[in-house]
Chains A and B, each alone.
Chain A
Amino acid sequence: MTKVVIDKVRKVYPNGTEALSPSSLDIAHGEFIVLVGPSGCGKSTLLRMIAGLEEITDGTISIGDRVVNDLDPAERDIAMVFQNYALYPHMSVYQNMAYGLKNRGRSKPDIETAVSKAAKLLHIEEFLHRRPSQLSGGQRQRVAMGRAIVRDPSLFLFDEPLSNLDAKLRNQMRIEIRKLQRELDVTSIYVTHDQIEAMTMADKIAVLNTGRIEQIGTPSEIYHKPASIFVASFMGAPPMNILDGKYNGNGGVEVADLGQLTIDHALKTTGKVQVGIRPENVEIRTEASQNTVAIKIDFLEELGAGRLLHTMIGSTPFIAHLDNEHPIDSDNIFAHLPPQALHLFDAETGQRV
């Protein structure tokens, strides 16, 4: 059983920049956790510290029941898949996969069994004697995966492994990696900047921003209850609509260019807030009622399965996701913002209220 405990881990580079402020994260056995955030948010730094490729400035990381701070990468019982695959160009696929086992003193028949088992799982048996340069991107990706699973490690680390693949292959590999991980039941940490990868693959997501973990939760928690305005706007495509407003103290938020919005719970703060609503939660109506605003269609984006309605509320862009069923009468439409679908954030701290 491998759980990973990251306890107040901090990273400061020699030039004084803090790449990661003290962050803690508990990962249970067999969990697939995705670290997601924009570039420079510290997600790769954290992963590399877990791998042992980067010194830990403060705090401790334990894998299983060992504190690994002072262990070499090779002693941590981990395997890592790199963004550019990092295959050994002078070795055949077989040798690439066998290298880690050989260095750990495993016997030849042992290695052969392990490699052929992993190769079968990944459908790369026919490439075993080729060099990495003779393989396509997708095949190299599989070999990199093979090199990781063949060692049967207690923790997988993935550093944006799919970002060099084309879109179609990426979707396919996403599912394959997840299936494989379930099958092997190995705890995994996966770094990506792609929020779709995060949503679809993760058991648990940690959203990072500017060297801080903003929120840890299941994909559904992250999506439906974002802890901050950053998480709300980073996760989801198209992103959440955000409007500036002011809480009036008794169940209503004054929003410029819109009027008063009723909300479904009382807020502790009084003052400036930001109101968020996901495009798919916006309802389109033909007559004004409570929580509606008259809108003018700027642009309709056809998605096949639905349509995106682009408009402006005041000077803020606003998007609504519509189904195909209702025809739209463009002269007379109102956007309805249901109280239970509204997310409220403190305008100063950005935190959910």
Chain B
Amino acid sequence: MKKSQFRSPLYPYLLLLPQLSIVVIFFYWPAAEAIRSSFYLEDPFGFSSTFVGLDNFKDMVLRSDYVATARFTVIFSVLVTFFSLATALLLAVTADRVLRGASTYKTLLMWVYAIAPPVAGLIGIMLFDNLVGPITEFFRTIGWDFKLGVNRFDTAFAMITISIWKQIPVNFIFFLSGLQGIPKSVQEAASIDCKSTLRRFWTITFPLLAPTGFFLLIINITYSLFDTFGVIDVVLKGEPGNNPVTLVYKVFLDGFRGNDLGGSSAQSVILMVLVLILTVFQFRMIERRVHYS
């Protein structure tokens, strides 16, 4: 590590100040504020607040709708993460077989990445539209009376499918570049050592993709927990009614629709802790495992 000498001991801190103030103002302050208000009961008009200790948390975990939402969030995250990773891997492996050397084709495939996520989400919702959606139309021809926003299961199905669909290109590109990073000669050596293509995939290709895969796993869990907010909001059109939502969406609903700022803050504190655990886990794992070369 190179050491630099500064004339004044304050100078380096001055250089750090802009970045630090952004972090403090936009991340730590709101977080601290959320933690503070999770211990208070605020009246809907914001005139007064009463310290209630852990009552908000107690309230939250005892309410059946919170537990149901948490359960749905887990199912939602597992399905979205698993299917977006698995589909992307399958597509990447298939593309990789054709792509060795064909760089124009690769560039074309990469373009998918350039489509803005909200646009992709909107297109997805149009496909599931109750009146004009081709997928809805297709489901009806095979006898599934698909009703987005009316039937709980149908809504959840659309939310999950669109979330998976939107995430596949990102995963695909990472997997593809991961696959292309595996030396050709290693694959060739494996083809001499092992006849079965499938077995070769699981014993050579898959382990060598593990660093990419692990990174994507964390990215996808985060995505399915937090970044799917937009998709869910567009699907529900802001009116959840009886439909399932994820924890992040519930924070928004209770806080801004229900005006329960204290309860909403308590929920977001729980989510913060979740992210913290996830981050620690990620750094631990990345340190410990999956570095070859």
Contacts and interface: CB of A to CB of B under 8 A. Distances in A.
B199 A86 contact: no
Interface stretch (A67-75, A206-214, A228-236): A67-75
22 contacts: A51-B188, A51-B192, A52-B191, A72-B191, A74-B191, A74-B195, A78-B192, A79-B192, A80-B192, A82-B188, A86-B183, A86-B185, A86-B186, A86-B188, A89-B208, A90-B207, A90-B208, A99-B190, A100-B192, A103-B193, A131-B292, A133-B293
A82 B210 CA distance: 24
Interface string A84-102: 1011111000000001100
A82 B189 contact: yes
Contacts of A99: 190, 193-194, 203
A210 to B, nearest CB: 23
B285 interface: no
Given A80-B192, A84-B183, 5 more contacts: A73-B192, A87-B189, A89-B186, A100-B193, A103-B199
Contacts of B150: none
Contacts of B194: 74, 99-100, 103
Interface of B: 183, 185-186, 188-196, 199, 203-204, 207-208, 210, 292-293
A100 B220 CA distance: 35
Q: Which 4 A-B pairs have the closest CB atoms?
A: A100-B193, A86-B185, A74-B195, A89-B292
A103 to B, nearest CB: 4
Interface residues of A, number: 24
- Chain B: interface secondary structure? helix
A75 B195 contact: yes
A74 B204 CA distance: 15
Contacts of B189: 80, 82, 86-88, 147
Given A84-B185, A89-B293, A53 B191 contact: yes
A53 B188 contact: yes
Nearest to A74: B195
A5 to B, nearest CB: 20
B64 to A, nearest CB: 47
B192 A74 contact: yes
A72 B183 CA distance: 20
A83 B194 CA distance: 20
A84 B183 CA distance: 10
